[in-house]
């Protein structure tokens, strides 16, 4: 998938979020999701962080270690790691706090106004451009950051649809790119052996 294709797929995913959000009733906002401890409003608050953060183009990173999407996902999903558990708890708590801080109107605006602003500059920026990764010491190429944002938009769109009693229905390009990324996270040999029915060693899930 090319970088412009990823931006197009991300925009299409966020449009689905906007459409579903606009139809939510007050009772819908309170529906539980399969993300532990999150109702639909908390799920919106969590993923809205992407279009809100990407509304404004960040300053480019001059150098330093450059991570890939796979590096990031592997780092966040080390089995049994206390640090990973702490990060997961912090992300969950942050989503619940954002519900209070932003409110439903702002959450819906994230997938309309902020999403349009974000995909505007993303579409015009070369994928090889390097930006800081979440304010830490590492940096990331825009193409790799797009892979993460698209995966998050797709996986959590499925979470939203599941909570609403709907079948999983993401744009085909977003689903295919997400599947490709997730297949890269486990050890390649272990994944091939398990996927081809030649091993019963647990490989999935690769993300929490």
Reported as a pLDDT band with limits 50, 70 and 90, residue 138 is confident
Whether 128 and 145 have beta carbons less than 8 Å apart is answered as no
Reported as a pLDDT band with limits 50, 70 and 90, residue 136 is low
pLDDT, tens digit, 9 for 90 and up, residues 83-94: 556 666 677 777
Cα–Cα distance for residue pair 169/36, rounded to 1 Å: 22
- Domain boundaries 3-195, CATH class: mainly alpha
pLDDT, tens digit, 9 for 90 and up, residues 57-109: 999 987 778 999 999 998 887 766 655 566 666 777 777 777 778 889 999 99
Residue 135: its pLDDT value, please?
Answer: 58
Cα–Cα distance for residue pair 144/130, rounded to 1 Å: 10
Residue 106: its pLDDT value, please?
Answer: 94
Residue 82: its pLDDT value, please?
Answer: 56
Reported as a pLDDT band with limits 50, 70 and 90, residue 126 is very high
In terms of DSSP bridges, do strands 130-132 and 139-141 run parallel, antiparallel, or are they unpaired? antiparallel
Q: What is the mean pLDDT of residues 132-139?
A: 78
Cα–Cα distance for residue pair 20/166, rounded to 1 Å: 11
Distance of CA 62 to the CA centre of its chain: 25
Residue 133: its pLDDT value, please?
Answer: 85
Cα–Cα distance for residue pair 57/114, rounded to 1 Å: 12
Ranges assigned E (strand) in 80-189: 130-132, 139-141
3-class DSSP assignment, residue 35: coil
pLDDT, tens digit, 9 for 90 and up, residues 145-186: 999 999 999 999 999 999 999 999 999 999 999 999 999 999
Residue 200: its pLDDT value, please?
Answer: 87
Residue 170: its pLDDT value, please?
Answer: 97
Domain boundaries, the chain: 3-195
pLDDT over threshold 90, residue 8: yes
DSSP line for 143-165: HHHHHHHHHHHHHHHHHHHHHTT
């Amino acid at each position: 998938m090319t970088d412009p294709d990823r931006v197009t797929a991300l925009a299409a995913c966020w449009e689905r979020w906007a459409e579903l959000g606009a139809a939510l009733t007050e009772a819908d906002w309170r529906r539980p999701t399969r993300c532990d401890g999150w109702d639909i409003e908390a799920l919106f608050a969590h993923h809205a962080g992407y279009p809100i953060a990407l509304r404004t183009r960040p300053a480019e990173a001059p150098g330093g270690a450059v991570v890939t999407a796979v590096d990031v996902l592997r780092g966040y999903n080390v089995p049994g790691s206390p640090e990973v558990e702490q990060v997961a708890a912090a992300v969950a708590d942050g989503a619940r706090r954002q519900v209070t801080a932003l409110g439903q109107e702002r959450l819906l605006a994230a997938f309309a106004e902020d999403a349009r602003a974000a995909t505007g500059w993303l579409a015009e920026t070369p994928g090889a451009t390097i930006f800081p990764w979440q304010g830490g010491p590492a940096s990331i190429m825009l193409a790799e950051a797009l892979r993460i944002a698209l995966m998050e938009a797709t996986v959590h769109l499925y979470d939203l649809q599941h909570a609403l009693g709907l079948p999983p229905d993401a744009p085909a390009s977003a689903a295919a790119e997400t599947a490709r990324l997730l297949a890269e996270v486990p050890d390649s040999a272990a994944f091939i052996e398990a996927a081809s029915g030649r091993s019963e060693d647990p490989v999935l899930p690769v993300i929490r």
